Structure 1
Amino acid sequence: MTAPASPRELFDLWAEVRLQGLPPPALVRHAHVEARLRHFQASAPDLFQVEEVGRSVEGRSLNLIRFGTGPRHVLLWSQMHGDEPTATSALLDLFEYVRRHREHPRVARLLSELTLHALPLLNPDGAERFQRRNAQGIDINRDALALQTPEGRTLKALRDRLQPSLGFNLHNQGWRTAVGGTGKPASISLLAPPFDASRGDNPGRVLAKKVCAVIRNALEPLAPGQIGRYDDSFETRAFGDNLVRWGTPTVLIETGPWSAPESDEPLLRLNFVALVSALEALSSGAVEHVDLERYESIPFNESKGLLHLVIRGAHVFGEAGEAFVADIGIAATQAVRTREGTPSVVLAGSIEELGDLRVYGAVEEVDGAGLIAVPLSSESVKAGEVLPLPSRSGRTLSVGLPAELMLLRPEGPSGPYRVERVIRYAR
């Protein structure tokens, strides 16, 4: 039997199959996805079939791509929240991997054992705006029962028509999410959703748990300590939970923060490794032999345990009183801003915590000892400049302010002050 690809092999292989010419995930739009799907169909018509299975509120096509001839049907869908784009790009890379390596024994086995159905962009109207909800203002993932969104109706109809034996529900989660109490970023969180409030098991949920364990085993060598488990409370309105109840167990993959400022590439690689590893284990039967404890022992997420940047032990002026020593916590997330008609991805941040923040982890930490943290006085200020201390009103920091700061080092008992560092996030 052909051995499965190692996580490192897949991690490195991603660079070869990564589709060129696409913008960052947050800027991928319906037109990009549709064009790529048509390209796959045109370049390998005997492998890929593309079908329009519905239309969004604003009339954008909901496109399903199908490949493989196996008896086990698997349904994958991404970006039902329009501002959760990572897995959409990762799915396109998965399709390119299959196209390029279809003759490799591992891929050939996958195609002979599985039939894959993927809807890479379920909420194209939300993606166009980079917003969670669809054009009606409804959260599609809370519409599994009411079915008031055309996108939700499309997903439900697909499930009923295909009767897949497993579903992959692909999302992004908040950038403040940490793994347990470790303070490490939950870069990937996994869940085999329950089918009722008792959170019991049936054969389908056990299979989903084993697939999650496969993914954990594949990703932990690449992101040690950064794999978490999503909250497993039953959500009666959600698609993942209801698909299990309707007979299709699901695997939830939530992409979260990364442990370095540049996050798109490593998170795309992790998604690619997760998907290929899971599908290989399903096609080879290796999933049946996975230790279930590898799922049960995944630590749960801590939804507010991480900050993007923490300045440790700086002198701070609050709204009243004298200066005090405190940590400053900045939370950040990707946002799309348009300037002169051109969209770009920025890191938007604000001061979220102030005080003793020793219990929080951070993507980046700054030693603020001996420094004074004050709001940025001007956009033109640069590190190394010498300034007077701002007036009392210009020194005040508080929770909720934009993350636009400068760290000052006094050059004498009463100044002047040298700008040690400028910290500026987008608003």
Structure 2
Amino acid sequence: MNLELLNRLFLEVKTPELYGRYITNSDIEKCFDYLSKPKISTVGFSVEKRPIYHLEFGNGPIKILLWSQMHGNESTSTKALFDCFRLFETEEELGRQILEKCTLVVIPILNPDGAERYTRVNANEVDLNRDAQALSQPESQVLRQVYNDFQPDYCFNLHGQRTIFSAGDTNKIATLSFLSPAQDEERQLTRNRKEAMAIISEINAFLQSEIPNGIGRYDDGFNLNCVGDTFQSFGVPTVLYESGHYKTDYNREEVRRLTYIAILKGIETIMNGVEMARYKNYFNIPENAKCFYDVIIRNAKSYCNDALIDIAIQYKEVLKDGKLEFIPTVTEISELNDKYGHKEIEANGFLVTTEDNLDLNVGFEIDFVMLKKERISLKP
């Protein structure tokens, strides 16, 4: 697989109808008309009776099940999937080989009610990724039925992660993260777990030139209520993808490109035969840590503290009138020597206040601060 070629193709296949973080059924429905390769069907309905779409590509012997937006506010991988779909519509050799050697079943938005509301949970306020055993929700039942009917050889569980994550206890952003979920309390390294680890190792190695040291892995604590753990327990290699943050990319458009590459690399690795010995490299990927805030104001003076303080700001993602807004919110006020900001403001011992000349307090939602009589925006 050629990284330069994939990046060039991305400019041609990037789906213009899908942009930003707020992606719903109405957005992806606009894209169906130009897709001639898949069989598109409605496989079920959400709590609020929104359709759950099912796309089937190819007719090869290797069966891969992919689903996205199990959490409605995690849409980056949905955009990346449609970019992959458009690649399949071209005459490019990679797309042709994938469709010849693989059969892909894709649920692009498993939680359309959550997508509409921009929430993690569904309309019943249930986290679908904790419903794999109870199967109490219609969306969970749909995914399980698709799994049972398709009997996949591999599963890709596509998610998005918050901006707080670092690749290890470092100042490196975890732009992408992965996990080969455990399938039992002992977290045994079964053959299918090792196979998922080997796939992740190949993706990690391939993307290091794009995001050096910018890939993390999640802790593999076992929870059978999680879908990945359940499917792994069925003996099917299951790879969890997490699309994170990249520099100033709050719309996740650069991360979308990286996710598109990661999905294609994962499929290609399977298609060409997974080299099981590569699983050992999985453990060289640093575990995720929570080392980042969106903004840190360093060495600030306040009215109520003699010592200088650091002020951490985290964005609340709020849907207003169909548009996503990032609301700067004061999250922590203390010494933050072991934390990093995606944006850092150096106060150099000067007073930092609200526009009304008040001290900042934890919980304040504030778009601007005053520093040396200058109004400084905290927005992304």
TM-score by length of 1: 0.85
Question: Which of 177, 186, 192 in structure 1 is aligned with 2:180?
Answer: 192
Give the Cα separation in 2 of the matches to 1:176 and 1:376: 27
Question: Which of 23, 28, 33 in structure 1 is aligned with 2:23?
Answer: 28
Displacement after TM superposition at 1:370 (Å): 3.9
Give the Cα separation in 2 of the matches to 1:119 and 1:169: 10
Question: Paired residue for 2:287?
Answer: 300
Displacement after TM superposition at 1:333 (Å): 4.6
* Runs of at least 5 residues in structure 2 that lack an aligned partner in the other structure: none
Question: Paired residue for 1:56?
Answer: 46
Question: Paired residue for 1:423?
Answer: 377
Give the Cα separation in 1 of the matches to 2:294 and 2:256: 19
Give the 3 Å change call, closer, same or farther, for CA 305–423 of structure 1 in structure 2.
same
- What is the percent sequence identity of the aligned residues? 32
Contact 1:228 1:298 (C-alpha < 8 Å) held by counterparts: yes
Question: Which of 317, 330, 333 in structure 1 is aligned with 2:313?
Answer: 330
Question: Which of 143, 146, 166 in structure 1 is aligned with 2:131?
Answer: 143
Displacement after TM superposition at 1:247 (Å): 2.7
| Cα shift readout 1:362-412 (whole Å, capped 9, x = no counterpart) | 2111111042100123xxxxxxxxxxxx3xxx2x22222224342332xxx
Question: After the TM superposition, which residues 169-184 of structure 1 pair with which residues of structure 2 at under 5 Å, given as runs?
Answer: 169-184=157-172
| Cα shift readout 1:292-333 (whole Å, capped 9, x = no counterpart) | 23211111111x311111111121233xxx543111111125
Contact 2:18 2:28 (C-alpha < 8 Å) held by counterparts: no
The structure with the larger Rg is 1
Q: CA RMSD in A?
A: 1.8
Give the Cα separation in 1 of the matches to 2:236 and 2:54: 18
Give the 3 Å change call, closer, same or farther, for CA 215–307 of structure 1 in structure 2.
same
Work out whether 1:349 is the aligned partner of 2:328: yes
Question: After the TM superposition, which residues 21-420 of structure 1 pair with which residues of structure 2 at under 5 Å, given as runs?
Answer: 21-24=17-20, 26-40=21-35, 44=36, 47-100=37-90, 103-285=91-273, 287-288=274-275, 291-302=278-289, 304-318=290-304, 322-338=305-321, 343-377=322-356, 390=357, 394=358, 396-409=359-372, 418-419=373-374
* Runs of at least 5 residues in structure 1 that lack an aligned partner in the other structure: 378-389, 410-417
Question: Paired residue for 1:415?
Answer: none
Give the 3 Å change call, closer, same or farther, for CA 403–183 of structure 1 in structure 2.
farther
Question: Paired residue for 1:383?
Answer: none
Amino acid at match of 1:273: I
Amino acid at match of 2:86: E
Displacement after TM superposition at 1:88 (Å): 0.8
Give the 3 Å change call, closer, same or farther, for CA 12–325 of structure 1 in structure 2.
farther
Give the Cα separation in 2 of the matches to 1:86 and 1:162: 25
Amino acid at match of 1:30: N
TM-score by length of 2: 0.95
The range that moved more, 52-61 or 14-23, is 14-23
Displacement after TM superposition at 1:137 (Å): 1.3
Displacement after TM superposition at 1:355 (Å): 1.9
Displacement after TM superposition at 1:107 (Å): 2.2
| Cα shift readout 1:324-377 (whole Å, capped 9, x = no counterpart) | 311111112543222xxxx22222221112121110022111111042100123
Question: Which of 5, 10, 17 in structure 2 is aligned with 1:14?
Answer: 10
SS at match of 1:316: coil
SS at match of 1:299: coil
| Cα shift readout 1:56-78 (whole Å, capped 9, x = no counterpart) | 11111111111111111000000
Give the Cα separation in 2 of the matches to 1:191 and 1:106: 25
Give the Cα separation in 2 of the matches to 1:48 and 1:374: 56
Give the Cα separation in 2 of the matches to 1:157 and 1:116: 16
Give the Cα separation in 1 of the matches to 2:29 and 2:85: 13
Displacement after TM superposition at 1:216 (Å): 0.7
Displacement after TM superposition at 1:424 (Å): 3.8
Give the 3 Å change call, closer, same or farther, for CA 333–352 of structure 1 in structure 2.
same
Amino acid at match of 1:311: I
Give the Cα separation in 1 of the matches to 2:235 and 2:340: 39
Contact 1:11 1:270 (C-alpha < 8 Å) held by counterparts: no
Contact 2:296 2:345 (C-alpha < 8 Å) held by counterparts: yes
The range that moved more, 256-265 or 269-278, is 256-265
